[in-house]
Structures are given as C-alpha cells and as structure tokens.
C-alpha cells in the first residue's frame, strides 16, 4: 500500500514536483546564498507556492530572480525582496501584521505562515477580489483582506507589530506610523516614480519613529483614492 501510494503520488503530480524543485533552488541560490538568515522567513519561502500567485502563463517563471506581472499593470516583487522585507520586520513570534498593497497575496501568504494574523489592503478591487479567492482556495484562514486605500491603515485592528508596504509613497503615510505598535517594525519603499526609491525601516521606540535606510529599490507607485 505504501509503495503504491508513493508511486501514485509522484506519478500524478509531476508538475508539483517540478515547482517544488524550482522553489528549493530559488531559496538556496537567491535567498540563503545572498545572506537571508531568519529561519522563519526561509521556511516560509520554501512552503508558499509562488507559481499559484503569478498571472496565468508565468507559472514557469515564478521562481526566477525577477518581478513578474500579476495583472492590472502591477507586479509581484522578486523573491529576494520579499524575503528581505520579511526578515527586516522580524516576524517570528509576532501576532499582528498589516500589509498595504495585497497585489497577488504572495507577501501576505509568506507572513501568514509566521505570524498569527495578517491584515492586508489592496486599492485595485479586481486584484483584491482575486487575492481573497486565492487565500480561500489555498486555505490561508489567518489572512483578513479588503479593498481600499491603505494610506489610512486599518484602525479597527491597530496597533500592528509589523507593517509591510509594497508600493512606493513619496512620504511615509502618517496614519501607518501612528498604527505601529511600540517596538513595532515597518518596512516600506519611499521615493518618487521618476527618481530613486529607498527601502526604509521604521522602528517605534518610546512613541517615536526611528527611520533607517536599507537599500535602493524599484516599486510600483502608492496610489490614493
């Protein structure tokens, strides 16, 4: 019986095997070899099926070292950037995370494997609806999502120990700083579309935001409704 079921498993999901191999290679060469050390981040990237988050037709490229289209002119970040941002907010053992810019839902899923609950907001209604369906299909019961302008955060669930913003604003939205918990960590790209953007880390200490520059990045613009 065991042999039979093993044969059936490997025989009936050759594609799943292929994606699994591609994902393990991605984690080794793009994530671990480039210096990501946080165990929880690495384990989560090994688990989340990124090929189910990209636009149809791009599944075969899902584990490559670049961003990909997710529809509506938006993109899913390169795997390394997702890992880098996840590690930067030190998610292990944390309860509540807020993400602004759900997009495909990939970053939410990576966080949802580590923290208790992820709240995520997406301004494009079609993308928000697709992500909600994806969370349900994949069984992510600890992701709460909605469509709206994330500039104002999600006051009903604040404060958040973690905030991750995946679209570039010209200045850090004040409501997000206000909704960051004491000792909470927020990571976000800041800058103009034409000019340079910098990934920044905000840490709330004694009620004050301490801001550090992390690395130059390129994200889609933060929109307002």
Active site residue 145: no
Sign of CA dihedral 154, 138, 222, 117: positive
CB of 205 to ligand SAH, least distance (A): 26
Query: Rounded to the nearest whole angstrom, what is the least distance from the CB of residue 4 to ligand SAH in the complex?
Result: 39
**Active-site residue identified among 5, 12, 55, 77:** 77
**Inter-axis angle of helices 39-47 and 79-88, nearest 10:** 140
Nearest to 32 by CA among 83, 66, 73, 104: 83
Cβ at position 206, least distance to ligand SAH in Å: 29
> Which pairing describes strands 117-122 and 96-100: parallel, antiparallel, or unpaired?
parallel
149-150-156 Cα angle (round to 5): 110
Q: In this complex, which beta carbon is closest to ligand SAH, that of residue 8 or of residue 155?
A: 155
Min CB(189)–ligand SAH separation in Å: 10
Q: Which C-beta is closer to ligand SAH: that of 130 or that of 161? A: 130
Q: CA 186 to CA 198: how far, in whole Å?
A: 14
How many Å is the maximal CA-CA distance in the chain?
Answer: 62
Q: 143 or 220, CB closer to ligand SAH?
A: 220
Residue (of 136, 123, 144, 163) closest to 52 by Cα position: 136
101 binds ligand SAH (CB under 6 A): yes
Bridge partner residues of 49 (DSSP): none
β-bridge mates for residue 147, sequence order: 122
Q: Which tokens is 14 given?
A: 């050759």
Residue span 40-79 as binding mask against ligand SAH, x where in contact by CB under 6 A, dash where not: ------------------------------x---xxxx--
Does 100 contact ligand SAH by CB under 6 A? yes
Give me the 155-194 binding string for ligand SAH, x by CB under 6 A, dash otherwise.
-----------xx---------------------------
Q: Which residues bind ligand SAH (CB under 6 A)?
A: 70, 74-77, 100-101, 103-104, 106-107, 121-124, 127, 149-151, 166-167, 220, 222-223
């Amino acid at each position: 019986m065991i042999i039979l079921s093993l044969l059936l498993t490997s025989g009936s999901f050759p594609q799943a095997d292929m994606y699994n191999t591609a994902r393990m290679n991605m984690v080794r060469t793009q994530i671990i070899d480039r210096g990501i050390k946080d165990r929880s981040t690495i384990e989560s990237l090994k688990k989340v099926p990124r090929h189910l988050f990209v636009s149809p037709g791009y599944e075969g490229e899902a584990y490559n070292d670049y961003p990909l289209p997710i529809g509506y002119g938006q993109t899913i970040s390169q795997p390394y950037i997702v890992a880098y941002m996840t590690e930067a907010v030190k998610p292990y053992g944390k309860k509540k995370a807020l993400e602004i810019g759900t997009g495909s839902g990939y970053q939410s899923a990576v966080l949802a494997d580590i923290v208790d609950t992820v709240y995520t907001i997406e301004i494009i209604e079609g993308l928000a609806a697709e992500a909600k369906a994806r969370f349900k299909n994949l069984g992510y019961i600890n992701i709460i999502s909605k469509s709206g302008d994330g500039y104002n955060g999600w006051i009903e669930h604040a404060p958040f120990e973690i905030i991750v913003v995946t679209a570039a604003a010209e200045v850090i939205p004040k409501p997000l700083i206000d909704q960051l918990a004491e000792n909470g960590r927020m990571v976000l790209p800041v800058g103009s579309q034409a000019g340079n953007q910098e990934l920044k880390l905000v840490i709330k200490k004694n009620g004050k935001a301490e801001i550090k520059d992390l690395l130059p990045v390129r994200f889609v613009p933060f929109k307002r409704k």
